[in-house]
Each structure stands twice: as structure tokens, then as C-alpha cells.
Structure 1
């Protein structure tokens, strides 16, 4: 799994497995990056919003200096935060300085909105009443046009989106000169988002799955079919949930700062037809009952077009 790749619409290969760094404690992220690269990972995912790009960059530098990997062998992803979506070039340059890199392999729109770039905080500006300070008349289509200007600069090899619903993609694509290479979304058996996955496949947009265990506390690991499949194969539920994305053709981003867990997450299995049916039936049942579970949804107060949140 650690060495498997998928082909993007740019022609580049993207690894099937990557290290997620969201909520990673800054002091531990550097060592986690080094541990992941030693364990065979070749994709590292971060974002300006996470506040740890500098530590990710320090981990990358240590791995390069030790000869563990070369820069060209690592697929580095970061994201344009919402306070910078009207000034994409500035946002990218800021991330590159933090990371200590000349370029990233993929730069994503983190969320399709603009928060006040002149607000009272660089990352999370708020109004006096405590709500997020959002400029609601700024179009996410314009955000993508800002991203398209970065292509050809040599500072990012590809551009994509994150947290885009089918509805938002349908609004975007008629105006896009460049089709997003990737859509990074929360994805697991309790939130299959099949309408987005199928639409992206049709349009040649690769899915990257974050929070594959259901975010904090890994709640999806306790789902009955996940436990049943894990017992059948003699593996951990986390192994089943990561392997789920292998047959779906998606890149998956488990996050951990524990070296042993990082290494274990790279040792996945091939789910058989029976396993796949069990997980698919479980997901379809939740959809029909209106019981899908989304674990990551910041309080923006914006309808992004997801059926479970609209």
C-alpha cells in the first residue's frame, strides 16, 4: 500500500497512502514526518491552517539531509486557507516559506469561502458576536480562478480542492480552465459520500480521504462490520478502514505522531468481495436511514452543498 500510486489528470502519480498532520502537536510532527518517510510513506499532507507547516518542513529537511529520501520522491500537499483565498499567490508563498521548499506537488483550496483578509486574526477572524468573519458575496468560482493563475509558476505542480460537494463542483467546472486534480474530503464507511466520489471519478478528479477513522477518538473503528472484517483477517479495525480506500481507488491520509502506529498503518490488506459488500451495505443502510456521520465540519455557518448538512 505504501508504494501503490494512482494517476492524476495531470499525468503525475500520487501515492495511495499519505501522512495526515492535522491536529498533530507541533513538537511531534517533525519526528512523525521522519518516521513516516522511513516507513515507506511518500506523501505528506499539511495546511497553513494547521499551524505546523514549519515542523513538517523541518521533518522533510531532516529526511533529506539523512538521505532517507530525495525531494523529488516525496509528494507534498498543502492548502490555501480561507483568509488567503482572494490572494492565492501570497498564501502559497507563505506556505512554501514555512515548509522551506521551492515547490509543493499539490496545492488545494482548503474550504470554498473567503474569511476577512483584514480581520482580527490571520487564521480565524471573528465578528464582535463571536461568529466567523466571512465575506459571503465572494464566489468560490473566483477562488478557483485565483488558483489557476498559480499553474505554470513552478511553485506548485498541481492544484485541487478540498471539502467540495457535488453541487459546488457542478457550479465550478463550467467556469474552470483547469479541472481540479484532487478533491480532498472526509471519507469512511459512515460517510461514503458516494455521489461526490462517483462524480469526481466521472470528471477525472482524484479523491483524497481524510479522517478515515472518523477523526478524534477513531469512532468508526467500533462499527460492527469493521470489527467483523478485522477479526476475519486477524488485523486491527484501523487496517480495515485504510484498506477500504484501496479498493475504492482513493488516496487515504491517516494521521498519527506515534512511530509504531505510523508503521502499522502502512501494512494494509486487500479486502475481498465479501468484505467490500459488507462495508458497502453498511454505508448504504446509513444513507437510507439518514444516519451518516460527518465528524469534521467547522462552524462557518455556510451551506457547502453536502446533502447531510444542507
Structure 2
């Protein structure tokens, strides 16, 4: 299943997160994901696994994959140094490619994110990326970019799960034509989420797991989503969402579980020197 980004680029609605996987465990996870229909993988220089992602993509193509999509990101350190172009080229080298499908700014480093975006626009306009976007941006961060941007971000990748539904941000991005992509969609298997009675009840009704219900909620809500797992069993489960649909009542019930609970950093209160 694909979504049409605001520049007309078609991108898989569901992909695989890869942090903090490296080495053989990452290659194995990529193989399991591909065998279960996944053709999109998310990485970042901050994860230290771009080289392994590049190896994994080559292996999958040897196994018959016709098209694999890769998302990587502009790091905070590169933002601070101002070397956006150098960081992009380093990612190309580590991945062993000449083009990035989706290039995102990892965090809105307060002093540098607007200038960094303008540099990313140049990379995109030169044809080196299929689309560009951001991660962990609140509405006010996007407002500042849109004041000067000539390219509207295609994607905003944020922490999003039923305990952090980001409803206002979702509405804002929908108005601007920006796709929301959910990371940590099962809140790192936090018991507050996985043991939630409402989710357990819905999962029992369909004979599915709570993570499957949450991922289906993402898909039916029109969100992109990138679950991460190193387990072959879990990966197969994550990409086995056919054969059932949640009702509007169930979708609303899951939306109502929001308590603004985060398992990652709030972009307005993060120590960017450590990210």
C-alpha cells in the first residue's frame, strides 16, 4: 500500500524502523521484513547502521527485490556544523547509493533548523532525493519553516501511538499536505499501552494482537507507520494486517486513549546536544 506525497512521489505507507539494530541482527530483520512484504526501511546517521542498511538493500536485490525504499536523516551534529551537504553525501556513501528516497531532518535544533531546511531544499531540487521532510516537529516549528520554504515538507515523522495521538498536529499537517509518519507506534511495548483494557478487548474481538490493532489504527487513520522489531515472529505479525477492519467506533475509542504520554523526547524540551 502506497501513499501519494505532496510532490507526487509514491511512498510505502508502512515500513520498518531499524534503531538500534546493526550487523547480522539488522540484516536478518530486513530479510524477515522483506519476506513479509516490507520494501521500505528507515535509518539515520544517529543509529550508526547506514552501512548495514546499504548492505541489506544489496542483499535483498540479489534475492529478487525490484525496489527498496530508504529513508535517512540529517543529524543534529551536521545541523550545528552547518554541513548539510557534507552529511547528505556521507549518508550516500555509507548507504552505497547515489540517491535517497526520503531525506528527513531528524530534530528541530532551535538555532539551525530553518537554515538547514533551505539547504535540504537545494539537495531536493537538484534531484538527489525523492522527497524531503522533517521529524519531531511541532506546529510552531513547521510554521517557521513554511514562512521561508519553497518546498513544503512531504513528511513529519513523529512519536505517535494511542497514548500520544497527536490529534492537533495531525489536523495541522493534513491542512498543509504533510503526511504524518508514526515512529514508536507501540510505545516500545510499554505496559500502559499493551495492557490497555480497551485495546485488549478490540484485539480479542478480531483474534489479533494489541500491536496489530494499533498498526491497523495507524493505517486506517491515513498515517504512515514504521514499527521496529528484531523478532521474525513479531515482524510477520506487524505486516499481517489483512482480513479485518476496525469500525469507526473502535477508531474513535483508540483516539480517545490519548494522555500525551511520551516514550521519547519532547522536541520543545530536548537536549539537542545529546541527540
Match of 1:92 in 2: 88
Q: Does residue 1:160 correspond to 2:133, yes or no?
A: yes
Contact 1:81 1:110 in 2 (8 A): yes
Q: Does residue 1:78 correspond to 2:98, yes or no?
A: no
Contact 1:96 1:102 in 2 (8 A): yes
Q: Which of 26, 31, 42 is matched with 1:29 structurally?
A: 26
Match of 2:251 in 1: 276
Structure 1 residues 226-237: aligned runs within 5 Å? 226-237=199-210
Aligned-residue CA RMSD (Å): 1.9
Secondary structure of residue in 2 paired with 1:95 = helix
Q: Does residue 1:40 correspond to 2:37, yes or no?
A: yes
Q: Does residue 1:187 correspond to 2:160, yes or no?
A: yes
| Number of residue pairs aligned between Structure 1 and Structure 2 | 268
Q: 5+ residue gaps in structure 2? A: none
Contact 2:78 2:87 in 1 (8 A): yes
Structure (1 or 2) with the larger CA radius of gyration: 1
Counterpart CA distance in 1 for 2:189 and 2:198 is 20
| Deviations 1:202-261, CA, capped at 9 Å, x for gaps | 000011100001026565222221111101111100101101111210111110112222
Match of 2:219 in 1: 246
Counterpart CA distance in 1 for 2:133 and 2:224 is 14
| Deviations 1:120-147, CA, capped at 9 Å, x for gaps | xxxxxxxxxxxxxxxx6x2321111111
Q: Does residue 1:265 correspond to 2:238, yes or no?
A: yes
**Residue 302 (structure 1) shift:** 4.5
TM-score w.r.t. structure 1 length?
0.82
Greater helix share, 1 or 2?
Answer: 2
Contact 2:137 2:267 in 1 (8 A): no
Secondary structure of residue in 2 paired with 1:151 = helix
